[in-house]
Structure 1
Amino acid sequence: MRKNGPTGVEALPRPLIDVPGVPPSCRSVLAERDRYEWRPADGGDPAALAEEFLAGHGLDLTELARPATHRPTGVCGAALYVSAAAGAQMVGAPPGAATPAPALPELAVVVYGHEPFPTPPAGPARGARWWLGDWRESWTARQHADAVTAVRAAIGRGDVYQVNVVGHAAARYLGDPRPALSRLGALPGARYGGTLHGAGWAIGCASPETLVEVTGGRVITRPIKGTRPATAAGRRELLASAKERAEHVMIVDLERNDLARVARTGSVRVDELFAVRRWCDLWQAESTVSAAVADGLGLADLLRATCPGGSVTGAPKLAALAHIAALEPVGRGAGMGALGWVGPGRIDLGLTIRTVAADADRLHVWAGGGITWDSDPDAEVAEAAAKAAPLRALLAAG
């Protein structure tokens, strides 16, 4: 899009810095210092390139077990966005279908520094009009259900134990999408509420799920798997569901294995199992898995071990990713990746579920769920719609 063309994210003034995980005490005094954006055509390993770029700005994240102190001056930290496609490349999985939002990079690293008098971000133009068109799905409900059936057949053959199947929808818009994207973070349970912006693109996140957190010498992940309506009956049903618990425990075991690759031997533990928590109008089951960070662990190896997240891939992870690449008609774009903050002594990345992306003229949303042998295709289609509904409703309100 041209700089002086129709209203879109490329032509808009600098937004407020509200990256998920940004230190609250620093938010009002940060300014962008530099950024790196990566796409597959650039070549190289995105995990190594992110670590190298950060080191070039004084953020040495090659030894996460080493204590570090946040400095009140100079470089504060960086926003880090890793798409599902970049995560798949890190682990050598098939790339899958093309992204429906090619304006977005597959990796973005934005370094921020403390500024005594940062230039205040401009708000939306007074009287600016917001319009959102109809959502168009990338597949029909029948095609989605058929994909669920195909996964069940693969499970029956013994190819996989579980595969997460995700759908996509897009809607045209006019006006400034950033206020609507920013409001996503206020949705109930949005632990990783926030935004990230670039030239011609923006991401708004309302995720409740921790992909990976590193603090105080421990690495933590909080997988979410299992969903029901947020009613008293829904909570009882979720707690009593053998299917949901089995699906959840599979992913907890996968995450234990992922963390074991970057942890001190014997230190992996499940701190909490199948805790029921609320996101908007849904109950979801969450567990907490943690471990002591191994000596010599750097950011690149941490990303390779945890991306893409097990709760949005399946088990075994590589086999699940192969089925995802074959079944889903469009790429996952900003969905099912990672977004958050990295800095001295602290890494906090949310899994980009409940996430919306904007390009110059369309909004994009992704939603899905984990498929096991006991999955009902029509119920899985309805669950994906229920996850996307609060995002769509808020965006329509403008």
Structure 2
Amino acid sequence: MVHGTGAVGHPVTAPFGAPPAAPAACQARHHALRTFRWHRGDPGDPAELLSAFLAGNGLPVRNLGRTDDKKKTFGDGTICGAALYVSADAGCVMAGAECGSPSPVPSVPDVYAVVYQHSAKKLEKSLQTGPDWKLGPWRDSWTRDEHAHAVEQVRAAIARGDVYQVNVVGHAAAPYAGDPSAALRRVAALAGARYGGVLSDGGQGGSGPGGAAPGWALATASPETLVEVRDGRVVTRPIKGTRPATAQGRRELLASAKERAEHVMIVDLERNDLARLPGTGPVRVDELFAVREWSGLWQAESVVSAPLDGDVGLADLLRAVCPGGSVTGAPKLAALAQIAALEPVGRGVSMGALGWIGHDHLDLGLSIRTVVADGTRVHAWAGGGITADSDPVAEVDEAAAKAGPLRSALRS
């Protein structure tokens, strides 16, 4: 796989800074060296092709349990790691599941990896929008009534016994003019963004090979760990359950039997995902239903982990955890079939995996709270898990609450 410019409409031209989950020692010192791209419909197994690419660049992805146990000191010009993005569609392919509607941002690959060299020069970036930045009105891909009807259809599927829970996601887009760089960095800087960062077709932003401008850039404020491998353990931190970040909201979340049941269901799914992974020891729940804050919202998070007792490669790991259970539902394959039938627009860059692969660890966030600029429009997605007792209007309102901070950051 080789570089390509892929410019669409008004190209993104300004640099962006560090990619999501890059180590602090490398922050803003990245120089894109080589790039891997795979699109839905391309031949070959994306998990295996990606592993071969990263291994060929010196990253220990064939056995993640035997990554270097010493922290590396990176000099100028050394490979410090790679940024990785895997779309929800690519996750479906890896899981052998049915893919949904096409992405509204076809210029963005479904698997994208950038190998970085460490640079002595640090890039300093401003969050201030230039005078040319203008964001137009948002247009949702479905109405509130259509979203609520999808919730009702999931409830009917649950009543039939087809599924236990399904995550339903909506899409919206807004036209823009000018350079979106600062707006995207503001998204990445939202409070609680554990994986805050920006990734573009030029690697870290700026120009692609030969000075060509990149055609897309995505920004994430994701708080959720899809999978982390560090110090001989594999960890996932599913998030399920949302309320406004007020004292009353916290009390309501902790007292909600519906939210807790939905959350525990996903924790069980994640436990099963890790248990199916070859080379892992006993799976345990280290923390259950801990309430944490993300940008004005309380969210419930658990921690599930297992030791790596045998050989575990990146390809097997991605097949086990993608797409993430908290944005699919349970059982996973049955939930993905419901999603493919219900959602009119593809999930694009959302609900996938996004993060960093280094010499001594792997850290991938779930690409929720994620937006992408494609040269003409900004795209965003938001949704929630549906159970038998979900209220359709409340679910639509919850999705809007999750999208609100993203829209505000882009608009400011």
- Coarse TM-score class (shorter-chain normalised): over 0.9
Task: State the partner residue of 2:103.
Answer: 99
Flag structure 1 segments of 5+ consecutive residues without an equivalent. Answer: none
Match of 2:191 among 178, 188, 192: 188
1:115 positional shift: 3.2
Contact 1:264 1:291 in 2 (8 A): no
Does the C-alpha gap of structure 1 residues 374 and 178 become closer, same or farther in structure 2, counting only changes over 3 Å? same
1:317 is matched with 332
How far the C-alpha of 1:265 sits from its partner, in A, is 5.6
Q: 1:170 aligns with which of 160, 169, 173?
A: 173
Alignment CA distance shift 1:209-1:56 (3 Å):
same
* Counterparts of 1:125 and 1:234, CA distance in 2: 32
Using the TM superposition, name which of 293-302 and 327-336 deviates more.
Answer: 293-302
CA distance in 2, matches of 1:376, 1:234: 17
Partner residue of 2:86 out of 74, 82, 86: 82
- Residue 56 (structure 1) shift: 1.3
Give 3-state SS (helix, strand or coil) of 1:134's partner. coil
Equivalent residue for 1:132, pick from 135, 139, 154: 135
Q: Residue 274 of structure 2 contacts residue 320 of structure 2 at CA under 8 Å; is this kept in 1?
A: yes
Contact 1:8 1:174 in 2 (8 A): no
CA contact (8 A) 2:129 2:182 kept: no
Offset, 1:266: 4.8
Matches within 5 A, 1:223-372: 223-262=238-277, 264=279, 266-372=281-387
Q: What is the letter of the counterpart of residue 139 of structure 1?
A: W
Name the CA distance, whole Å, in 2 between partners of 1:316 and 1:57. 36
Is it true that 1:388 corresponds to 2:403 in the alignment?
yes
Q: Deviations over 1:61-85 (max 9, x none)?
A: 1011114143524211000000001
Deviations 1:137-161 (A, max 9, x none): 0011111001000000000010000
Query: What's 1:24 paired with?
Result: 24
CA contact (8 A) 2:280 2:306 kept: no
- Asked if the contact 1:166–1:368 (Cα under 8 Å) also holds between the matched residues in 2, the reply is yes
Counterpart-to-counterpart distance in 1, 2:267 and 2:387: 15
CA distance in 2 between partners of 1:141 and 1:333 (Å): 21
- 1:72 paired with 2:74, answer yes
Alignment CA distance shift 1:265-1:207 (3 Å) = closer
Q: What amino acid sits opposite 2:97 in the alignment? A: A
Q: State the SS of the aligned residue for 1:332.
A: coil
Q: Per the alignment, do residues 151 and 206 of structure 1 end up closer, same or farther by CA in structure 2, a change over 3 Å counting?
A: same
The reply on whether 1:37 has 2:41 as its aligned counterpart is no
Residues in 2 aligned to 1:127 and 1:162: alpha-carbon distance in whole angstroms:
44
Identity over aligned pairs, percent: 62
Q: Is the 8 A contact 2:280 2:308 kept in 1?
A: no
Q: Alpha carbons of 1:52 and 1:71: their partners in 2 closer, same or farther (altered >3 Å)?
A: farther
Aligned-pair CA distance for 1:29: 3.1
Q: Tell me which stretches of 4 or more aligned residues in structure 1 moved more than 3 Å.
A: 1-7, 115-118, 120-128, 263-266
Matched residue SS, 1:192:
coil
The normalised TM-score by structure 1 is: 0.94
- In 1, the alpha carbon distance for the partners of 2:94 and 2:5 equals 33
Contact 1:354–1:388 (8 Å) recurs in 2: yes
C-alpha displacement of 1:117 = 5.1
1:88 maps to a residue whose letter is C
CA contact (8 A) 2:82 2:115 kept: yes
Distance of aligned partners of 1:123 and 1:283 in 2 relative to their CA distance in 1, 3 Å threshold: closer
Give the aligned length. Answer: 393
Decide whether the 8 Å contact of 1:262 with 1:293 is kept in 2: no
Summarize the Cα distance change of 1:57–1:234 in structure 2 as closer, same or farther, 3 Å threshold: same
CA distance in 2, matches of 1:4, 1:262: 39
Q: SS in structure 1 opposite 2:109?
A: coil
| Alignment partners' CA distance in 2, 1:78 and 1:5 | 25
Shift of residue 4, structure 1, vs aligned partner:
10
> Does the residue aligned with 1:275 lie in a helix, a strand or coil?
strand
- What is the TM-score with the length of structure 2 in the denominator? 0.91
| 1:351, distance to aligned residue in structure 2 (A) | 0.4
Give distance in 1, aligned partners of 2:189 and 2:106: 27
Whether the 8 Å contact between 1:124 and 1:176 is mirrored in structure 2 is no
CA contact (8 A) 1:262 1:294 kept: no
Please report how far the alpha carbon of residue 60 of structure 1 lies from its aligned counterpart in structure 2 after TM superposition: 2.7
CA distance in 1, matches of 2:37, 2:402: 29
Give the residue type in structure 2 aligned to 1:183. R
Please, which moves more after superposition, 130-139 or 19-28? Answer: 19-28
The Cα of 1:246 is off from its aligned counterpart by 0.2
Deviation at 1:226, TM superposition (A): 0.4
Q: In structure 2, how many angstroms separate the alpha carbons of the residues matched to 1:111 and 1:2?
A: 17
- For 1:302-357, what per-residue CA distance to the aligned partner results, in whole angstroms no more than 9, with x for missing partners? 01101100000000000000000000001000110111000112100110111101
Instruction: Find the partner of 1:210 among 211, 216, 225.
Output: 225
For residue 113 of structure 1, what is the aligned residue in structure 2?
Answer: 117
SS at match of 1:42: coil
Structure 1 residue 27, shift from structure 2 partner: 2.4
2:209 corresponds in structure 1 to: none
| Contact 2:166 2:329 survives alignment (8 Å) | yes
Task: Report the counterpart of residue 207 of structure 2 in structure 1.
Answer: none
Question: Partner of 1:40: helix, strand, or coil?
Answer: coil
Q: Distance in 1 between matches of 2:9 and 2:165?
A: 44
CA contact (8 A) 1:8 1:175 kept: no
Shift of 1:176: 0.9
Q: Please give the alpha-carbon distance, in whole angstroms, between the structure 1 residues aligned to 2:184 and 2:65.
A: 35
Counterpart residue type for residue 280 of structure 1:
S
SS at match of 2:323: coil
